[in-house]
Amino acid sequence: MRFSYAQDVIQLDNVKLDEVMNLHIGKPVLVNLWATWCKPCVEEFPELLKIREEYKDKSLEVVLISLDFGDDARYRTTNFLKKMGVDFESYSNAFKSDEDLINYFDMKWNGGIPATFIYDKSGKLSSSMIGKRTYEEFKKEVEKVM
């Protein structure tokens, strides 16, 4: 997979997300849904990047999906990702409805963010983490799928 930079935020709907997830079968995947306007999302972002850095050589894939919306959503998202030093493919929500997005990840999820979903190597959901988390909490759940 080619590496892109924050300015290359990719629109992600259920079809594209299926493609992304299928690319990572055989690897554990951490998916985080976040937004620039969400203070807890912004606060936990460095923790996610720390997890990615620690586990990148152990095949963990981190998929970041921005839920920013509005005319300047792409601008806000790319600027934030650049500021955070994100140098890997990142995505923005293009699902047709919030309900479709919620049902894709976990029908028990109420749509609150930040939301992190951890999948095992077979692509099965292992953990749903709703709300701001720490590095240690992410690590504990990631270790279960390594």
Supply the DSSP string of 27-64, one letter for each residue: S-EEEEEE-TT-HHHHHHHHHHHHHHHHHGGGT-EEEE
Q: How many structural domains are present in the chain?
A: 1
Are 67 and 115 within 8 A, CB to CB? no
Q: Buried b vs exposed e over 115-136: b needs ≥16 C-beta within 10 Å?
A: bbbbbeeeeeebbebbebbeee
- Domain span holding position 29: 6-143
User: Hunting for tokens 């990631």 — which residue is that?
Assistant: 142
Is 1 domain-assigned?
no
Are 67 and 113 within 8 A, CB to CB? yes
The span from the CA of 16 to the CA of 8, in Å, is 15
Is 63 domain-assigned?
yes
Is 37 domain-assigned?
yes
Digitized pLDDT (tens) for each residue of the chain, 146 residues in all: 344 445 579 999 999 999 999 999 999 999 999 999 999 999 999 999 999 999 989 999 999 999 999 889 989 999 999 999 999 999 999 999 999 999 999 989 999 999 999 999 999 999 999 999 999 999 999 999 99
Is 110 domain-assigned?
yes
The span from the CA of 43 to the CA of 54, in Å, is 19
Are 20 and 90 within 8 A, CB to CB? no
Q: What is the pLDDT of residue 4?
A: 45
* Helices vs. strands in the chain: H and E counts, helices first: 5, 6
Residue 75: its H or E element: helix 73-83
Residue 143: its H or E element: helix 135-143
Closest listed residue to residue 60, CA positions, set 91, 33, 28, 32: 28
Is 44 domain-assigned?
yes
Q: What is the pLDDT of residue 1?
A: 38
| CATH number, residue 61 | 3.40.30.10
Q: What is the pLDDT of residue 71?
A: 87
pTM: 0.92
Is 86 domain-assigned?
yes
